[in-house]
Chains A and B, each alone.
Chain A
């Protein structure tokens, strides 16, 4: 089955700086990679996703890049704000599977 590794587990940045979170996946058949943001005590919420036929996708301050050859994908948050503080999860969906496999999460703290 698919295995997703996520780094770092914790990340602290100054407000206004950029944050980068990286994930690797094991199954070359995986073709869909969403990122979720989870605030304390709340449900995971989709913030951006990318399909395997695209190398990069951007939505305002958030971007995701995908390197299929190396089997890794990254989340980039620019101009970070205190409200970006949360746990971020990457995930991968293998083509024939029905379930997402999640990384272990990154606790992002944006210091004012």
Chain B
């Protein structure tokens, strides 16, 4: 039990297809983050929600990417017209109010072929 459930764990898709990932915090946390991690690198920030409001987006988040967090609970990350460069681990993280650490989910590993 990591506190954050991500689905699916693995996704293989053909280039040009759309994919959607889901992140479910087990308990209520007002802050939810999406990060992307490529092999041999640290996680890179994509976007951040405070409750249902998307407050920040990285310039890494092109217009092919969209994220939502309806009702301030679970979140989805959609990638349209996938490219091979989108292949990575997509991590969801939660944190509490104030300065605090993140709890990461197990991630969704995307492979675009």
**Partner pick for B42 among A31, A34, A46, A102, CB 8 A cutoff:** A102
CB distance from A69 to the nearest CB of B (A): 21
Question: What residues on A are CB-neighbors of B101 within 8 Å?
Answer: 34, 46, 49
In the bound assembly, the distance between CA atoms of A46 and B107 in angstroms comes to: 15
Is A102 touching B43 in the complex (CB atoms < 8 A)?
A: yes
- Residues 89-112 of chain A, each 1 if its beta carbon lies under 8 Å from chain B, else 0: 101010000111111110000000
Segment 82-110 of B: residues with Cβ below 8 Å from A: 91, 99, 101-107
CB distance from B28 to the nearest CB of A (A): 18
- Contacts A89-B43, A98-B31 hold; do A43 and B56 have CB atoms under 8 A apart? no
In the bound assembly, the distance between CA atoms of A45 and B104 in angstroms comes to: 7
Segment 28-84 of B: residues with Cβ below 8 Å from A: 31, 33, 40-45, 48, 50, 55-56
User: Is the CB of A68 closer than 8 A to any CB of chain B?
Assistant: no
Q: Which residue of B lies closest to A93 (CB)?
A: B99
